[in-house]
Amino acid sequence: DARAPPPHVVVLTSPGAGHVVPVAELASRLAANHGVTSTVVTFANLSSPAHSSPLASLPPGVRTVELPAVPLDDLPSDAHLVTRILTVVRRTLPHLRDLLRSLMDEGVVTAFLTDMLCPAALAVAEDLGVPRFVFYTSSLMSLVSLLHAPELARATTCECRDLPEPVRLPGCPPLRGDDLFEPLQDRAKPVYDLVVGLGIDYLRADGFVVNTFDAMEHETLVAFQEFFSGEGGGVHPPAYAVGPFVRSACTDQEEEAAEHYECVRWLDAQPDGSVLYVCFGSGGTLSMEQNAELAAGLEASGHRFLWVVRHPSDKDCSASYFGRTSAGHSDDDPLSYLPEGFIERTKTKHVGLCVPPWAPQVEILNHRAVGGFLSHAGWNSTLEAAAAGVPVLAWPLFAEQRMNAVKLSSSESEGGVGVALRVRPREEDGMVPREDVSTLVREIMAGEKGAKARKKAVELREEAEKAAAPGGPAHRALAAVVANWIAQRELVREDPIL
Ligand code: UDP
C-alpha cells in the first residue's frame, strides 16, 4: 500500500552482549533488507557501557530509547541475575506502556518485539492491540524447554537433577534433568517460579523470531511446526528461523580497531589452525582455583592459546556480566590471578596470549590461525563458532548453556550436531582438573575424538553459509515475519474495530 508509512517495530532488549548484539543485528537487517525502521528500547537499570556499544553504530532508521531506572534496593544483594533482570522488566512495564502509547499516537508502531527475557511485556502490547512477537536469542530447543517448564513444575515434585528419566521434548535430543536451564535447578529459589512464568508469558506472542537455522535444529524446527499447526490444534505460536545472526563484515571503523588489537596481530604470526581461542562470553566467570587449573591445563596441553581472561569469582559463575565493579572486584588486573610466571613463560615461548577482559570474538574465530574454541557455549558464541567452522570444547556455566552443550556435543543420531567435546566438571567438587583440560585441548586440536568434531564443524559452516546467504532461508524467514506484521496492520486499517 503506497499510502502506508514504512513499517516500524519497537524492539525491547534485555541487557548483556548475548542479547544486545543480536538485537542490533536484527534492527540493522530489518532496515537494510526489509525497509523496516525500528526503535530499540533498553533498560537504564543493569546497563553497562561494554554491552551498549553494539547500539552505538546502528544504521539510519534505527533509534534507541532507554526506559528509566526503577528501584531495586529491596532485592537481596545475592539475588540471581535472572531475578534482577525479570524484576526490572516487571517494574518498568508502566514506562514501556507510556512509550508504546506515545509512539502509537504518532501512528508509527506496526509491531512489538520483545527479548526472550521480557515476555511479561507482551501483555502491554496485547492491551494496546499491537502485533507482538518474541525475539528468541537462543536455541529453539531451549525455547521448547521453557514452554514445557510449567508442565514440568506441575507434574513433578523432585529437583530436575533427580528426575529418574531424561526429559524428551519434541524434536530435541534427550535432556538430563541437570542439563535443563540452570535457574530451574532449585525449586526453593525465587528465580525458579519466575523462569516457569516465562513459559506461560510466551503464549501471549503471535510468533517467535528465533536466532537459529535449519541444519542446527532441523528436527526441532520440524517438530515445532507440527506441534504448532498439526492435528493437535496448534498450541504454540509459530517459530521463524531467522539465523544465524553473526556480525559478518566489520565496518571500516571496526576493522581498523580490530587491526589495532594486539591479539589479531599475534594471531597473524601463528600457523594455520594452531590456536585454541578461550572465552566464556560476556558473563562467564571461573572460581580462583578453577582459573588457575585452567591456566595449568592450557600450559600443559602444549597447544597455542588465546585466552580472554576475566576476574575470577568464588561466588558467582556469571559475575562478569555487569562488569567487575558490580562483581565486587577492586580495580586490580585480572591477569594477577594467574599462576606465578604463567604469563611470562607462555608469552616468551610464543604459545599463549592473555587478553583482559574483551576481544573481537567474531574476527578471532574467523582468523585462519584459530583451530578450536573453548567456550561456555552461550548461544551467540555457538552460532559464531558454527559460522566460522571452528570445533568447540563446550564448558557450560549457567543459564541454558548446558542445553547448548548437549546440542553441540551429541552426535547427529542423538539429535545433536557433533561439533564439540564436552568439558565435565568432577561431581565431588565441580572442578575441572588441569589434566582433563590438557587432555581435552589435545583432543579437540589434534586428537582422534576431536577429528570427528573438526570435520563436522566444517560441514556445519557450509550449512550456516547457505542459511545466511543473500535471499536465503534466514532472509526469507525474516521477510515472512515482516509480511505477517504488515498483514495484521492492514486488517486493522480495513476494520479499525478489530
Ligand atoms: N563477545 C566478544 N568478545 C568477548 C566476549 C564476548 O565479542 O571477549 C561477544 C561474542 O562474540 C558474542 C557475545 O559477546 O556475540 C556473547 O554472547 P553469548 O550468547 O555467547 O554469551 P553470553 O555473553 O550471553 O553469556
What number of helices (H) and strands (E) belong to the chain?
18, 13
Report which ligand 1 atom has the smallest distance to the Cα of 401: 25
Cα(343) to centroid of ligand 1, in Å? Answer: 24
Taking the alpha carbons at both ends of the chain, their separation in whole angstroms is: 19
Name the band, by pLDDT with cuts 50, 70 and 90, for residue 327.
very low
The reported pLDDT for the residue numbered 331 is: 63
- Residue 373, strand partner residues: 277, 392
Q: How confident is the model at residue 496 (pLDDT cuts 50, 70, 90)?
A: low
For residue 104 the three cell numbers come to 502509537
Ligand 1 midpoint to CA 76 (Å)? 27
Mean pLDDT over 29-41 rounds to 96
Ligand 1 centroid distance, CA of 310 (Å): 13
Cα 484 to Cα 208: distance, rounded to the nearest angstrom = 12
Using CA positions, which residue lies closest to atom 11 of ligand 1? 361
Catalytic annotation, pick one of 8, 19, 95, 303: 19
Say what the pLDDT of residue 249 is. Answer: 46
pLDDT of residue 430: 94
pLDDT of 47 above 80: no
Q: Please check the confidence at residue 330 and state whether its pLDDT lies above 80.
A: no
Mean pLDDT of 198-227: 96
Q: Compute the average pLDDT of residues 52-57.
A: 81
| Residue 421, helix vs strand vs coil | strand
320 or 370: whose pLDDT is higher? 370
Closest ligand 1 atom number to CA of residue 247:
15
Beta bridge partners of 115: 135
Centroid of ligand 1 to alpha carbon of 378 (angstroms): 7
d(CA 474, CA 180): 27
Local confidence band at 50 (pLDDT 50, 70, 90 cut-offs): low
- Out of 380, 390, 403, mutate this one to test ligand 1's pocket (max ligand atoms within 8 Å of CB): namely 380
Q: Tell which atom from ligand 1 comes closest to the C-alpha of 379.
A: 19
Q: Write down the residue that cell numbers 601463528 correspond to.
A: 270
What's the pLDDT at 342?
95
- The number of the ligand 1 atom at minimal distance from the alpha carbon of 378 is 20
Ligand 1 atom closest to Cα of 362? 11
| pLDDT tens digits for range 236-245 | 899 999 999 9
Q: What is the mean pLDDT of the chain?
A: 91
The alpha carbon of 3 and the centre of ligand 1 are apart by a number of angstroms equal to 42
pLDDT confidence band for 43 (50 / 70 / 90): very high
Q: Look up the ipTM and state it.
A: 1.00
Strand partners, 114: 12, 134
Does the pLDDT of residue 333 top 70, yes or no? yes
Query: Are the C-beta atoms of 404 and 397 separated by less than 8 Å?
Result: no
**pLDDT band, very low/low/confident/very high, at 204 (cuts 50, 70, 90):** very high
Among 135, 282, 310, name the best residue to mutate to test ligand 1's pocket (greatest count of ligand atoms within 8 A of Cβ): 282
* Known catalytic membership, residue 179: no
C-alpha–C-alpha distance, residues 10 and 361, integer Å? 28
pLDDT at res. 315: 84
Residue 316 has pLDDT above 90, yes or no: no
CA atoms within 13 A on the CB side of 123: 10
Nearest CA to ligand 1 atom 24: 18
Distance, CA 57 to ligand 1 centroid (Å)?
17
Q: What confidence tens digit (pLDDT) does each residue in 92-129 have?
A: 999 999 999 999 999 889 999 999 999 999 999 999 99
| Mean of pLDDT values over 16-25 | 91
Residue 153, pLDDT > 90, answer yes
Q: Is a pLDDT exceeding 70 seen at residue 321?
A: no
pLDDT at 51: 62
CA nearest to 181, candidates 170, 193, 15, 244:
193
Residue 317's pLDDT band (cuts 50, 70, 90): confident
Per-residue pLDDT of 404-432, as tens digits, reads: 999 999 999 999 999 999 999 999 999 99
The rounded Å distance from CA 17 to ligand 1 centre is: 6
Judged against a pLDDT cut of 60, whether residue 293 lies above it is answered with: yes
All residues at 6 or more sequence positions from 498 whose CB lies less than 8 Å from its CB, including other chains: 491, 492
Ligand 1 neighbours (beta carbon < 6 A): 16-18, 21, 279, 281-283, 308, 358-359, 361-362, 378-381, 384
- Judge whether 19 counts as a catalytic residue: yes
Q: Which atom of ligand 1 is nearest to the CA of 399?
A: 25
Distance 21 CA to ligand 1 centre (A): 8
- Residue 428 CA, chain-centre distance (Å), reads 29
Per-residue pLDDT, averaged over 374-396, amounts to 98
Reply yes or no on whether the pLDDT at 326 is more than 50: no
Atom from ligand 1 closest to the CA of residue 381: 20
| pLDDT exceeds 80 at position 319 | no
> By percentage, how much of the chain surpasses pLDDT 70?
92
- The band of 325, judged by pLDDT with boundaries at 50, 70 and 90, is very low
DSSP 157-223: -S-GGG-SS-B--TTS--B-GGGS-GGGS-TTSHHHHHHHHHHHHGGG-SEEEES--HHHHHHHHHH
Report CA-CA distances (Å) from 88 to 41, 85, 96, 335, 400.
13, 5, 12, 33, 21
- Could you tell me the distance, in angstroms and rounded to a whole number, from the CA of residue 317 to the centre of ligand 1? 15
**Residue of 80, 115, 179, 236 marked catalytic:** 115
Given this model, what pLDDT does residue 324 score? Answer: 42
For residue 202, what is its C-alpha cell? 510466551
Strand stretches in 280-339, DSSP E: 304-307
Residue 289: per-residue pLDDT: 96
Q: How confident is the model at residue 492 (pLDDT cuts 50, 70, 90)?
A: confident
354 — pLDDT class (breaks 50, 70, 90): very high
If we measure between CA atoms, which residue out of 455, 55, 387, 35 comes closest to residue 243? 387
